[in-house]
């Protein structure tokens, strides 16, 4: 019998969440973000599940894009950070990939290259995130440089990324949006602005394209949920089983360092999942776990291959009892808060040794 830990991937939920992204912005096209293996869910499987819905996909690197092409994905694929070396341009050209340009050296390389057909290019504005992109006072000159090279570049868009679209305090978001709007009006440019939180909460940021990412996988990216984010469905459910049960007397401890001490006679369920599988080692005592559908607290430090749960209040629990670590019935965002992290790190951190089991998506 194999180890009972598995990541169930509900492709029907993925399609539901993509539809929700489209419903929030019916005048925009939604580019489904599949970087980091579709946030740990499996990029090829998720791309295939969305192939009849999404007009384009987005990834972080050429390697990710080529893997999708090799799997038969034919939609446009955007490289969100552009290329990292000019030597990537022949493959970008051959696979008809779209690129983001954010630095002068990229513009120089792009304009020195002779593509078989002009390359779809989106020029990135640093409107306040201060990672990639051209400052507002630099942007127009770069835009005009690309506009003057129709043999090299086509379908030029203005693109930016919001730093605080998820926040309850909107002042900085509005500053970024005002910066973008001033340039858009002056250049008459199509735009791609909205990430997941802006897609869900800021219709004024909906552009010609939006870029839903983490919301596709069922995580709520907003500091304060709204009706739309509350309708997201979890795509990944991390499941396991209890593989042993220990009876502890009052005062006995559990796990490395004896962090948790039994306050009363306690039953402890040992679960086949640990930080070697991607479960966060920083999970605090009290992090919720579902045991046969009932909430129970994690106790003691997470080990590489196991974690321990206080099942004293779940008397029916025993060896073989079903465990949900996050997903259906237990939001990954709640688990992440108990680990002092965010859902992204949990999703993308699920180890390759954890089998993914895919539920076939509906096609309605």
Convert the chain into a string of H (helix), E (strand) and C (coil): CCCCCEEEEEHHHHHHHHHHHHHHCCCCEECEECHHHHHHCCHHHHHHHHCCCCCCEEECCHHHHHHHHHCCCCCCEEECCCCCCHHHHHHHHHCCCEEEECCHHHHHHHHHCCCCCCEEEEEEECCCCCCCCECHHHHHHHHHHHHCCCCCEEEEEEECCCCCCCCCCCHHHHHHHHHHHHHHHHHCCCEECCCHHHHHHCHHHCCCEECCCHHHHCCCCCCCCCHHHHCCCCCEEEEEEEEEEEEECCCCEECHHHCEECCCCEEEEEECCCHHHCCCCCCCCCCEEEECCEEEEECCCCCCCCEEEECCCCCCCCCCCEEEEEECCECHHHHHHHCCCCHHHHHHHCCCCCCEEEECCCCC
CB 194 within 8 A of CB 206: yes
The mean per-residue pLDDT over the stretch 100-115 comes to: 98
CA dist 7 and 239 (Å) reads 6
Is position 18 annotated as part of the catalytic site? no
C-beta atoms surrounding 85 within 10 Å: 10
Q: Which of 18, 124, 172, 256 is catalytic?
A: 256
In the chain, where the domains are located: 11-219, 236-359
pLDDT at position 364 over 60: no
- At the second CATH level, the architecture of 11-219 is Alpha-Beta Barrel (3.20)
Percent of the chain with pLDDT over 70: 99
Angle subtended at Cα 36 by Cα 30 and Cα 39, rounded to the nearest 5 degrees: 65
Q: pLDDT tens digits for 324-337?
A: 999 999 999 999 99
The mean per-residue pLDDT over the stretch 186-209 comes to: 97
pLDDT of residue 43: 98
pTM of the model: 0.96
CA-to-CA separations, 161 to 27, 100, 148, in angstroms, rounded: 19, 12, 25
Q: pLDDT tens digits for 236-271?
A: 999 999 999 999 999 999 999 999 999 999 999 999
pLDDT of residue 52: 97
CA dist 327 and 159 (Å) reads 33
Percent of the chain with pLDDT over 90: 98
236-359: CATH homologous superfamily?
Answer: Lyase, Ornithine Decarboxylase; Chain A, domain 1 (2.40.37.10)
Dihedral of alpha carbons 99, 103, 106, 107, sign: positive
Q: Which of 35, 39, 124, 301 is catalytic?
A: 35
Q: pLDDT tens digits for 111-160?
A: 999 999 999 999 999 999 999 999 999 999 999 999 999 999 999 999 99
User: Phi and psi (nearest 5°) for 326?
Assistant: -165, 160
Is position 147 annotated as part of the catalytic site? no
Rg of the Cα trace of the chain? Answer: 23
pLDDT of residue 360: 84
């Amino acid at each position: 019998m194999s180890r009972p830990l598995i990541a169930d991937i509900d492709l029907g939920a993925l399609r539901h969440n993509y539809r929700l992204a489209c419903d929030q912005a019916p005048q925009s096209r939604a580019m489904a973000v599949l970087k980091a293996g579709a946030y740990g869910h499996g990029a090829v499987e998720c791309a295939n599940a969305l192939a009849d819905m999404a007009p384009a996909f987005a990834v972080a690197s050429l390697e990710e894009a080529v893997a999708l092409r090799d799997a038969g994905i034919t939609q446009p694929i955007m490289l969100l950070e552009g290329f990292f070396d000019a030597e990537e341009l022949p493959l970008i050209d051959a696979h008809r990939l779209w690129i983001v340009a954010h630095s002068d050296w990229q513009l120089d390389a792009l304009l020195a290259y002779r593509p078989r057909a002009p390359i779809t290019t989106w020029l990135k504005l640093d409107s306040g995130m201060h990672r990639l992109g051209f400052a507002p006072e630099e942007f127009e000159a770069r835009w005009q440089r690309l506009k003057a090279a129709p043999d090299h570049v086509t379908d030029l868009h203005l693109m930016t990324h919001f730093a605080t679209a998820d926040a309850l305090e909107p002042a900085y978001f509005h500053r970024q949006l005002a910066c973008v709007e001033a340039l858009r009006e002056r250049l008459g440019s199509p735009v791609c602005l909205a990430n997941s939180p802006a897609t869900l909460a800021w219709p004024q940021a909906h552009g010609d394209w939006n870029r839903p990412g983490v919301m596709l996988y069922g995580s709520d990216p907003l500091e304060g949920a709204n009706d739309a984010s509350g309708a997201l469905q979890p795509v990944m459910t991390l499941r396991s089983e209890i593989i042993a049960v220990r009876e502890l007397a009052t005062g006995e401890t559990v796990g490395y360092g004896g962090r948790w001490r039994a306050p009363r006679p306690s039953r402890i369920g040992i679960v086949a999942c640990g930080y070697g599988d991607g479960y966060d080692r920083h999970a605090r005592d009290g992090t919720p776990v579902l045991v046969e559908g009932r909430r129970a607290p994690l106790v003691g430090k997470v080990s590489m291959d196991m974690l321990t749960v206080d099942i004293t209040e779940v008397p029916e629990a025993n060896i073989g009892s079903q465990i949900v670590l996050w997903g259906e019935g237990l939001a990954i965002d709640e688990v992440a808060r108990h680990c002092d992290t965010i859902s992204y790190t949990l999703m993308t951190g699920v180890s390759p040794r954890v089998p993914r089991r895919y539920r076939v998506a509906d096609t309605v």
